[in-house]
Amino acid sequence: MILVPVTYKGGIYRHDEIVDLIEDVGGYIIQKHFVAQEVVLQALVPRDDIELIRAIGKPLMGDIIPASLVGTEIAVVTMSLEIHHLPHASCDVAEYIRRNGAKTNMVGLARGFGKRIAQLNDEERDVINEHDLAIFMLGNFEMCIEKKLPVLRRGIDVPIVVCGGPSKEALQKIIDPPVSGYVGNVGRFMHRTKESDEIEKLEEIVAEITRVLDIRREEIAKDPLSVSPARLMDIITEQIPDIQDVTSPTPITVQVAGLRIKLPYDMFAGSVRECEIENGITIGAVADVMPSRMRDYILVRIKPFSDTNLVV
Amino acid sequence: MGALDYFVVECPEPLGGEYYQRIVSTVLQDHDLVRVVAKIHVFIDPAVPIFVATGTTRKLPGLVSIRDFSDLKIEDHKVTISIANEAYLAPLLKILWDRFGQARVDQPDRLTIIMPLERDESEGLPDVVVSDPSEALYKDLIYAMQAIAPEGFKVRRQYYGNMKFYYVASENTLDEEINPLLSEKFRLMGESL
């Protein structure tokens, strides 16, 4: 069964029927939120059942659209949290990616600005490495990007997509060794992105991220995960009732090959490890349950089949 | 920006210069400074690195004295000030407290101040300067320059006055060679420092 990431948007009235339907056909709801009279569901659904969900959702004013980034957690790395970089361009990019289903976290570097003085500290590095992908929002000058990027990428082992003012070709030329993705002509700007060419640029960023993540997913497919992250999310939601009390929009964030559980590590790591998936196989047997560097959250990294000889 | 008499962004990286042209234009509009600035020349060289903004302002509003925003009634043993614009109330009170002491400044309602002053004490009171609008405008202007300049350029020197301003910033220490550079940029605008 191939699960496809989608977004369902529809009226609140009878939306629980859609929720039940997605679960009945074997899909997973990653995120559910209400916007006025509308409900937005980010979900992974079986490819063959998309038309069925669309048909049932139609009388409820609902529509189902592909959302390539559902089930991913992306770090938007901005050089600082000063007015120079926020809200434009960093928030514009983060918000647009979110619309495509990703869970984005803004990582504002303490000393990311400048050419010679730019730095990345160990906490920032570790937090970025907990994501599926990092987008580096860089500035307008080739010279600065060339000089500072080697410092900023040191120790980062997740795929990096670089956004910068110079053209894509110029970025490819100056960045050595290469990063996973490049989007040119998106450097520092201080106005809201609303013109059609600017929206196209945001689309280009989404396309580049999707391309990079597809490569990651293909790599994972060669040595599949012992359990699907979305399934693990369902199991944890069912077996650890305290997760219901977490007020965060995504108490459990689904990643490409893991989860972030927003419960204190010290108190809940043991219970997470002991959660049974099926036939006595616990989460501890198929995944590493580690402390996250983001607050005191729990990070779950699912082991591949080659490590566990198990697929549940 | 058509409202400016002179607007040039100079940069060895042409594309970077174009982006900065847009940033300058956006920031000046956002900070409502387009009508204040007459000429601006921005020079950025990331190789040095240095950011220089030089410019001139249009004629700024003059000093605001007590008579400009209030009605004064000076009697033999009493002065009554009826304030029309509340914006100047706080700085006015501070000046009066410093000059006459809080005990002698009575404020029966928000916009009225009564002081038991003799004629000689109240002499020149209507002309006391309460606010200098150009001070706030220049501060806004320098703040805007900080927003425009690349963030890493933390070492800076700024000047304003006599309808001219400049803002120089860099990552490195600024040496005396800055002065000829500033003079050159003012000359390009047809001005002198």
Q: Does A197 touch chain B if contact means CB atoms closer than 8 Å?
A: no
Question: Same domain, yes or no, for B156 and B122?
Answer: no
Q: Which CATH superfamily is domain A73-220 in?
A: Cobalamin-binding domain (3.40.50.280)
Q: Which CATH superfamily is domain A3-66 in?
A: ACT domain (3.30.70.260)
Q: Give me the percent of chain A exceeding a pLDDT of 90.
A: 94
Question: Same domain, yes or no, for B80 and B125?
Answer: yes
The full 3-state SS of A231-298, as one line of letters, equals HHHHHHHHHCHHHHHCCCCCCEEECCCEEEECCCHHHHHHHHHHCEEECCEEHHHHEEEEECCCCCCE
Backbone angles phi, psi at A271, to 5 degrees: -65, -35
pLDDT at B2 over 80: no
Q: Strand, helix or coil at A71?
A: coil
Question: Same domain, yes or no, for B23 and B106?
Answer: no
Judged by CB atoms closer than 8 Å, whether chains meet at B19 and A116 is answered as no
pLDDT at B1 over 70: no
Across residues A151-180, what is the average pLDDT?
96
Pick the more confident residue, A178 or B161: A178
Q: Left (φ > 0), alpha (ψ -120 to 50) or beta: where does A36 sit? A: left
Mind listing the pLDDT tens digit for each residue in A290-302?
999 999 999 999 9
Question: Same domain, yes or no, for B158 and B180?
Answer: yes
**In a 10 Å sphere around its CB, with 0-12 CB exposed, 13-18 middle and 19+ buried, how is residue B78 labelled?**
middle
- Assess if residue B1 is contained within a domain: no
Question: Same domain, yes or no, for B52 and B71?
Answer: no
Question: Same domain, yes or no, for B112 and B127?
Answer: yes
Q: Does A108 touch chain B if contact means CB atoms closer than 8 Å?
A: no
Q: Which residues of A touch B15 (CB under 8 A)?
A: 140, 165-167
Q: Does A167 touch chain B if contact means CB atoms closer than 8 Å?
A: yes
Q: State the pLDDT confidence band at A120, using cuts at 50, 70 and 90.
A: very high
Question: Same domain, yes or no, for B54 and B144?
Answer: yes
Question: Same domain, yes or no, for B139 and B55?
Answer: yes
Which structural domain range is residue B45 located in? 6-60+133-188
- Assess if residue B178 is contained within a domain: yes
Question: Same domain, yes or no, for B138 and B112?
Answer: no
Q: How many domains does chain B have?
A: 2
Across residues A253-263, what is the average pLDDT?
96
- Assess if residue B11 is contained within a domain: yes
Q: Does A168 touch chain B if contact means CB atoms closer than 8 Å?
A: no
pLDDT at A249 over 90: no
